[in-house]
Amino acid sequence: MPPDGAAGAPVEVRLRDLRPTTDPVELVGRVVTFERREITRKSDGGRRPLASGLLSDGTATVRFTWWDPPREEIERGTVLRAVGAEVREFRGRAELTFNWKTKVGPASEAELPRIDGDAVPFRTVRELAPRDEGFRVEVRVARASSRTVTVGEERRVVHEGVLADASGAVAFSAWSDFGLKAGEAVRISGGYVRSFRGRAQLVLDERSSVVRIDGAGLPEAAELLRAPPRPIAEVEDAGGGEAVAVEGLVVGLLPPSGLVYRCPTCRRSVTNGLCRVHGAVEGQADLRARIVLDDGTGALTVNAGRAETEALWGVTLDEAKRRLRETPDPSLLEEQLYESLLGRRLRVRGSGTKDDFGVTLVPDSIERAEVDLDATAETLRARWGGHR
C-alpha cells in the first residue's frame, strides 16, 4: 500500500464518516450479515457470484456489495479490512462496493476503532430505527431473562428482555452476559438496531458498553409494565410494541386452540404426528388459546399459553386429556374452551407484533377486567355532549 499522502492511496475512514466519492477508501468493520447469490450477465448470459450484507465498526452500519467474493465461508462477526473500496449513494445512504481492485482480508479485533461512549450521540428509545449504530441510550431494564438455544450444532445462551425510557420501550438481545437485572438503570453504547418481526430490537455484543447509572428521570420498571391500556387501533397503528396493555371483550377463538401437541425439540405445533421442521415426532400435549379480543376500535389475537389457558378456562392439562379419553374429539374441547371465554372482558399485557393478519399479542399477564359502569356512563355523556 502506498505511504500516507501518496497519490491514489486509499484514505482510512470510519463508517460513520463515509461519503459518496470517486476516490477509494480503506476501512475496518465487523460482518453483521452476509448473503451469497448469483446474477446473470447481460453480455453472455453467464452467472457471476455476488455477496451482500451489513458491515459495522461501532460508529455506523453500512450495506456492502462484494463482487466475486472468496469461496471460503465468511461468518457473522468476522472482522475485515478492505483497501480500495468504492463508496456510492443508494436511497440517500452511503454503500460500499468491493470489486477486483479491492483487497479484502481478515483483521483483528484490536484494529476496530475504539468507541468512547460519551463521544457518540444520545438517543431516546423512540428515536431508534433499524440499522442505527453509533449512539448511546439511558434506559431502565423492564424485563430480563436468558434461555439456551441451538446455533448450528452448538448450544448457546442468549440474554433478552425489554429496555425503556420515558419515550417508549425496545426489546434487546445479547450473546454476551452483561448481568442485566430488572429495575436497573443503565447507559448503553456500542449496540446496534435491527428489525425483528417488524419491530426495532437493540442488539448487544462483546464490544457494547453497559454502565450502571442512578436512573434519575427514568420511569420505574413496575410503572413501565403496568401502563394503562391503549386502544387496539392505536396498537395496530404502532405495529405492536414491547410493553403493550389492551382491554376488550373475547369475541372469538382461532384454531388450533384447546388441547394441542408440540414437537419435543422446537415446540412447534404437530399435525398428524408431523413437525414441519423435524418430521415425524411424538408430540407432547399442551394447552393454548388463540383469543380474539375486540375493544370497539379494533381487534387483535392473544396467544395464551398453558398457564394462562388453565387459569382462564379452569381446566388443567390433565383434566383436558381425561376429557379427550372419554370423548375422543378435540373439537369438542375447543368448543368448551370457546364457550367459557366468549364475552369475557380481559386486560392483557405483553409484547405485540403485526403482520398481514393483524396484531398478535404474547401475554405476560391476563386478568379479568370489571366494567366501571359509572366511569363508562361519564365517558358516554361526554361523548354525546352531556345529553341524557
Highest mean pLDDT among 44-48, 101-105, 167-171, 352-356: 101-105
For residue 26, give the C-alpha cell: 480503506
Owning domain of residue 102: 11-111
pLDDT score of 6 more than 50: no
Overall average pLDDT of the 260-279 stretch: 87
Instruction: Kindly indicate the confidence band of residue 180, based on its pLDDT and cuts at 50, 70 and 90.
Output: very high
pLDDT score of 341 more than 90: yes
Residue 5: the pLDDT is 44
Instruction: Kindly indicate the confidence band of residue 116, based on its pLDDT and cuts at 50, 70 and 90.
Output: low
d(C-alpha 380, C-alpha 388), whole Å: 10
Query: Residue 319: how many CB atoms within 10 A of its CB?
Result: 13
Q: List pLDDT tens digits, range 31-51.
A: 877 888 888 877 888 889 999
Do 146 and 43 reside in the same domain of the chain? no
- Residue 162 placed within a domain: yes
Do 232 and 306 reside in the same domain of the chain? yes
Q: List pLDDT tens digits, range 234-252.
A: 999 888 888 889 999 999 9
d(C-alpha 9, C-alpha 24), whole Å: 8
Do 26 and 95 reside in the same domain of the chain? yes
CATH number of the domain at 56, please.
2.40.50.140
Candidates 21, 84, 371, 20; CA nearest to 380 is 371
d(C-alpha 15, C-alpha 57), whole Å: 7
pLDDT score of 4 more than 70: no
pTM above 0.95, yes or no: no
At which of 186, 205, 223 does a domain end?
223
Residue of 218 and 118 predicted with greater confidence = 218
